[in-house]
A and B are shown apart, each in its own frame.
Chain A
Amino acid sequence: MSNPIFRLILLMMFFLVPHVSFAAADIEADTPTITNLKQSMQQRHSQLEAFYTSGAVGFTQDGLIAMHDANAVPLAARQLVNSLIAAENQDRIALYREIARANNHPEWEGEIRSTFSQRWIKLAKSGWWYQESNGSWAQK
C-alpha cells in the first residue's frame, strides 16, 4: 500500500517543483506607486521628447537621463531642461526602488536599474543619444 502512494507522491513532486519555481520568477510591477510614477513620467515625456530628438538630453548607462548637448538648448530653456532632467531622474530612481520593494527584494534595485538602462536605450528612437558602457555618447 505504501509503495503506490510513495510513487504517486514522487510523481507529483516532479510536476509541482518546476511549477512553483516558475511561478516565483515573475516580476511584480503593478502597484499604485508604480502607476503614479508611470503617469508622471508619461506626462513629462511629452516635454522631454523634443530634447531627446534635438540631442540636448540623452540616456545614461545607469538608467537615468543627462544633458548631452547644452548648446542644443536655447539659453532661455536651459533652466526648464535641467528641472525636467532632475524630476525625471527622481521618478526613475523611485521607480526602480519601488519595483524592487514590490517584489520583496530591495537588493534587486541595482539589477532592475541596469535592466531598465538597457531597455530604455534599446527602445529609444533613432536619432536619440545614449551613453555607451565606456562613457562615450553614441546616437541610435
Chain B
Amino acid sequence: MKNTLFYSSFVALISLLLSACVTINIYFPAAAAEQAADKIIQKVWQLESLEETEQKEDGQMDSK
C-alpha cells in the first residue's frame, strides 16, 4: 500500500515536471530560427547548400 502510494506520487511528480518543462520553455529559440530562416532563404534565392555559402561568406569577411 505504501509502495503504491510512493510510486503513484512519483509518477505524478514526474508528469508535472515534464509538462512544466514544456510549458516553461517559451523562450525564443534563436539558433533554430536562424537555421529555419537560412533554409527558406536558400530556397527563395536558389542558393547552393548552406555550408558552402557560409564558407564563402566567412572568406569574404576575412578578406575585408
Query: Measuring CB to CB, which residues of chain A are less than 8 angstroms from any residue of chain B?
Result: 1-2, 5-6, 9, 12-13, 16-17, 20-21, 24-27, 29, 34, 38, 41-42, 45, 95, 99, 105, 108, 111-112, 115-116, 118-120, 122-123, 126, 140
Contacts and interface: CB of A to CB of B under 8 A. Distances in A.
17 contacts: A5-B6, A5-B7, A21-B21, A24-B25, A25-B25, A25-B31, A26-B32, A42-B45, A45-B44, A108-B28, A111-B30, A112-B37, A116-B40, A122-B57, A123-B42, A123-B45, A123-B53
Task: Tell me the dominant secondary structure on chain A's binding face.
Answer: helix
Contacts of B55: none
B36 A29 contact: yes
Contacts of B6: 2, 5-6
A116 B25 contact: no
A17 B17 CA distance: 8
Interface of B: 2-3, 6-7, 10-11, 14, 17-18, 21-22, 25-26, 28-47, 53, 57, 60
A27 B26 contact: no
Contacts of B36: 27, 29, 99
Given A16-B14, A24-B25, 20 more contacts: A2-B2, A2-B6, A5-B10, A17-B21, A21-B21, A25-B31, A27-B36, A42-B45, A45-B45, A45-B46, A105-B26, A108-B28, A116-B40, A116-B41, A123-B38, A123-B41, A123-B42, A123-B47, A123-B57, A140-B60
A105 B14 CA distance: 26
Contacts of A115: 30, 33-34, 37
A21 B23 CA distance: 9
